[in-house]
Amino acid sequence: MSQLLGKELTKELFNLLKGENVASKLGKAIVIVTVDDKGWPHPAMLSYYEVVAKERSRIDLAIGKTSTTTKNLRRTGQITLLITDSGINYYLKGSAREIKESMEGVSFMSLFRVEIEQLLEDLEPDAVITSGVTFSRPQKKEVNAIVGKIFQAIRSEP
């Protein structure tokens, strides 16, 4: 059963999401959920290169500007992030607003700012979380360059 922790990231979670040592999180995904125009949950995944906590009460997200997720956020402003990895499992519910329709240097990405409404932790002593969602990406120069540009653009926002 999840436990409400408040409206701010814990110190541990803020340190995980503040955009430092991001290379150690390569291949780890953060699942996000929005609500589509028919009322259904719409899942998507972001990498740690697309999610940066600027303060304990807000997180910036880089999302493809023509994606269904972006359309949902523009319409409802509601989002849930699932931050799960070995030994941790948080649900972050928030209100999102678009800060930039096209991010500098990566015009195909939009920047959203999420104000945290609820932070929940869901851990069971007899069901230990051993990993989160992971992925593998071919190490191609052009892909790495784009990922790097997205990360720099999101980090440079105040």
**Could you tell me the CATH number of the domain that includes residue 132?**
2.30.110.10
What does DSSP say about strands 29-35 and 41-47: parallel, antiparallel, or unpaired? antiparallel
pLDDT at residue number 139: 78
- Which helix (H) or strand (E) segment holds residue 81: the answer is strand 78-85
- In this structure, which amino acid lies at residue 49? Y
Q: Spell out the residues 6+ positions from residue 58 whose beta carbon is closer than 8 angstroms to its own.
A: 113, 114, 115, 116
When divided into structural domains, the chain yields a total of: 1
In this predicted model, what pLDDT tens digit does every residue of 77-98 receive, in sequence order? Answer: 999 999 999 999 999 999 999 9
Q: Where are the alpha helices (DSSP H) in 18-140?
A: 68-76
- How far, in whole angstroms, is CA 20 from its chain's centroid? 15
Q: Is the pTM of this model over 0.85?
A: yes
Domain that holds residue 49: 3-156
**Residue 25, SS3 per DSSP:** helix
DSSP code of residue 22: G
65 is written with which tokens? 């500007």
In this predicted model, what pLDDT tens digit does every residue of 86-136 receive, in sequence order? Answer: 999 999 999 999 999 999 999 999 999 999 999 999 999 899 999 999 998
pLDDT at residue number 30: 98
Instruction: Supply the mean pLDDT for the chain.
Output: 95
